[in-house]
Amino acid sequence: MTKAHPWMANSVPSIQQEMLSALGLNSVDSLFSQIPEDHLYAKPFNLPPQLASEVALSRHLDDLMRKNVTCKDSLSFLGAGAWPHYVPAICDEVANRYEWQTSVFGSPTSDHGRNQAWFEFCSQIGTLVEMDFVGLPVYSWGCAIGHSVRMASRMTGRRKVLVTEVMDPERLSVLRNYCEPREMARHIEIVEVAIGADGCIDQNDLKSKLDDSVAALYFETPSYHGVIEGAPGTLCDLARTAGAEVIVGVDPLSLGLLEAPGAYGATIAVGPTQPMGVHMNAGGGVGGFIASPDEERYASEYNTLNISIGETIKEGEYGFGLTLFHQSSYGSREEGKDWTGNSVYLWALANAAYMAAMGPEGFAEIGRLIMARSRHAAKAIDGLAGCSVDLSRPFFKEFVVTFEGEKVADVNDALRKRGIFGGKDISGEPGADGQCMLVCVTEAHTEGDIARLVSALKEVLA
């Protein structure tokens, strides 16, 4: 290396020489004496050339990334786990603050601000779902389901979870890994409950499957297909009567309008955090939360890091620090609850700023707007020849379009040529009768966007 590297302060040769001199050495090689000779790799590395110049690197990244077509270049109706919600500018500013973007984990005093912000993330989730105990977020909604199912299994000593037959295959695949293969001694069986013609859980089928072997019932409202469950409280009652925990997955942006799971008897609430101030990031924006009553039997099963408010040694002053650390894998290795590691804590700060700026009226307003826009889109699409939407189902944000003759893959190809990303192709999935597309419409879509989709679909289906 001929020049000092901008990211390595001690790459200045004279500094290295001085440090070596302080150790009485001439070269660094002897510092590696612990590694046996036959462990060393002697061949040259076949790596692309160094781009230490920022201008050259920047150009390279731009050239590479320009091969993408983004959801801003094109009009997109893709949702299903990553949703095109508007990200208020303050959320980016908060999440990009150098202080908490770059560091890892300090003390409750020196990193007081971040600890407080984490507590505020949990507090605001708590009021949205009406539950008192909230952990720091986990990797994703699917991971939140996985951890909470395992919580329920440990709490009840039972090894079966009921899920709905219509479930996002991404989340279901994640859950399957958490439930372990059949060959393993602690395998948790996943049993599917039927979905009725109305898109809601078939209560008779649920009743027939609930018994004292069931650790938990897991359902979502709105569901994967966007359907709002009409009687979530009844489902919770049925499951709790059987001694099972009830884990409910919710879209936080629906909670200005839809009842909080804590209010109708859910015992654990989970959901995605990406809708609240985080970009889709090619799927890298996902995150998940877990909430429950603040009772020891729940609290003692969390795998998450948990932040509590508490007193400092100065009268009247408050701080925030870890509680229940010992039950994490950091505290107890394999004796801990599942495992804990890096998660999406930076996104939690964007989420906190989002919830604080939105307030109760912001959540109600965005809920109404999403419902109005998605309903408007569904009606217009249903009015087209060659496809239909079941408008009798109350839905939030996402709905299923069924095509009569065309294949969704072909429709999407044709839409793409017109600068539109159609909805997710769910043909062949459970609950999708024939050729089906899951369309997502949010507050970020204008009426003009919807008109463009409808007119393009009309052309394609003609």
Tell me the window of 158-166, 208-216, 306-314, 448-456 that interacts with other proteins (CB under 8 A).
306-314
The token pair at 142 is 């699917």
CB of 449 to other proteins, least distance (A): 14
The token pair at 411 is 């429709």
CB-CB contact of 195 with 201 (8 Å): yes
CB of 462 to other proteins, least distance (A): 22
CB of 178 to other proteins, least distance (A): 8
CB-CB contact of 198 with 228 (8 Å): no
CB-CB contact of 219 with 164 (8 Å): yes
Please report whether residue 462 would count as binding other proteins according to CB under 8 A.
no
Q: Decide whether 211 or 379 has the Cβ nearer to other proteins.
A: 379
Tell me the window of 116-124, 212-220, 429-437, 450-458 that interacts with other proteins (CB under 8 A).
116-124
Find out whether the peptide bond into 222 is cis, omega within 30 degrees of 0. yes
Nearest Cα neighbor of 91 from 126, 121, 68, 116 is: 121
CB of 156 to other proteins, least distance (A): 18
Q: What angle do CA 14, 19, 25 make, to 5 degrees?
A: 105
Binding mask 309-328 for other proteins (x = CB under 8 A): xxxxxx--xxxxxxxx----
Please report whether residue 136 would count as binding other proteins according to CB under 8 A.
yes
Q: Out of 154, 159, 176, 452, which residue is the one contacting other proteins (CB under 8 A)?
A: 176
β-bridge mates for residue 436, sequence order: 402
Q: Decide whether 177 or 385 has the Cβ nearer to other proteins.
A: 177
Please report whether residue 451 would count as binding other proteins according to CB under 8 A.
no
Quote the CA–CA distance of 440 and 82 in Å, as a whole number: 10
Nearest Cα neighbor of 279 from 354, 369, 373 is: 354
Tell which positions 8-47 bind other proteins, by CB under 8 A: 8-11, 15-16, 18-20, 22-23, 28, 30-36, 38-41, 44-47
Q: Decide whether 322 or 461 has the Cβ nearer to other proteins.
A: 322
Tell which positions 191-220 bind other proteins, by CB under 8 A: none
CB of 7 to other proteins, least distance (A): 5
Quote the CA–CA distance of 318 and 280 in Å, as a whole number: 35
Please report whether residue 454 would count as binding other proteins according to CB under 8 A.
no
Q: Decide whether 243 or 390 has the Cβ nearer to other proteins.
A: 390
Q: Decide whether 90 or 212 has the Cβ nearer to other proteins.
A: 90
Binding mask 334-373 for other proteins (x = CB under 8 A): x-x-xxxxxxxxxx-x--xx-xxxxxxxxxxxxxxx-xxx
By CB under 8 A, the count of residues binding other proteins is 212
DSSP string, 270-290: EEESTTTT---GGGTT--EEE
- Strand order of the β-sheet with 216-220 is 133-134, 288-292, 268-272, 245-249, 216-220, 160-164, 189-193
CB-CB contact of 394 with 227 (8 Å): yes
Tell which positions 402-421 bind other proteins, by CB under 8 A: 412-413, 416, 421
